[in-house]
Amino acid sequence: MSDILTHQDAGVLTLTFNRVERKNSINVAMYDALATALEKAAGDAATRVVVIQGHETIFSAGNDIEDFLKNKPAGMDSPVFRFLRGIATFPKPLVAAVCGPAVGVGTTLLFHCDLVYAGDNAAFSMPFVNLGLVPEAASSLLVPQMFGYHRAAEALLLGEPFMAEAALEVGLVNRVVPPSEANALAQAQARKLAAKPLSSLIATKQLMKGGQQKAVLERMGEEGAQFGRMLGEPAAREAMTAFMEKRKPDFSKC
């Protein structure tokens, strides 16, 4: 069975993380599937809204570290960057349902969604610094804008989890519900959107986000360059090795 499930119904394309046994960690093949699905949906008249969801116990643990080390991104045309550009420039409504942990890209992808619904068990985190890396998906730009600088610094410099109610307070999510209801709520809202005139939805989204798109893509490029450089430095090597060896990293010499 595919690690990314796709389902099309009544104008709504649903993309479901389906790798629960690996905490829905995202590998290269999954990034490729997500990027391809978004590229196709953008030009498909039958697709009016896209929903991204996981399981009620886990949204995504972020990058599959083992796979990531074997298949490091090779330039801006790699699957991960195709996905990030695709979600940042997707012209139609994007809806997300998040339950359980949403780590790294599991959180940063949400800044590019239009509506986000969370289970009350959702735990968001952006622990890039803890891996000797820098933020991605233009989160270094978008998080301070949404959270305010000091809350953004707490989220990005400490990298500690924050729960659903805190995400609601800063505007990252629209509503918090029991985990068993989150996916259904996202689907219901997506169907409402799909019943509206698509031309108006696209134009309204473009007006809200279009003026910033250039800055978002530029920041993604800057982050990607820093990310790639830092992957080869001692801090990232120590963090990745410690993760694989299931021990606490020692950054005393980094």
* CA dist., res. 83 & res. 36, Å (int): 8
Largest CA distance in the chain: 57
Task: Please tell me the predicted confidence (pLDDT) of residue 76.
Answer: 76
Question: What's the confidence (pLDDT) of residue 253?
Answer: 84
Measuring CA to CA, which residue among 145, 161, 144 is closest to residue 153?
144
Residues 6+ apart with CB under 8 A from 250: 238, 242
Walking along the chain (254 residues) 10 residues at a time, the average pLDDT comes out as 94 98 97 97 97 98 90 84 97 98 98 98 98 97 98 97 98 98 98 98 95 95 93 92 91 88
**Is residue 85 a contact partner of residue 213, using CB atoms and an 8 Å limit?**
no
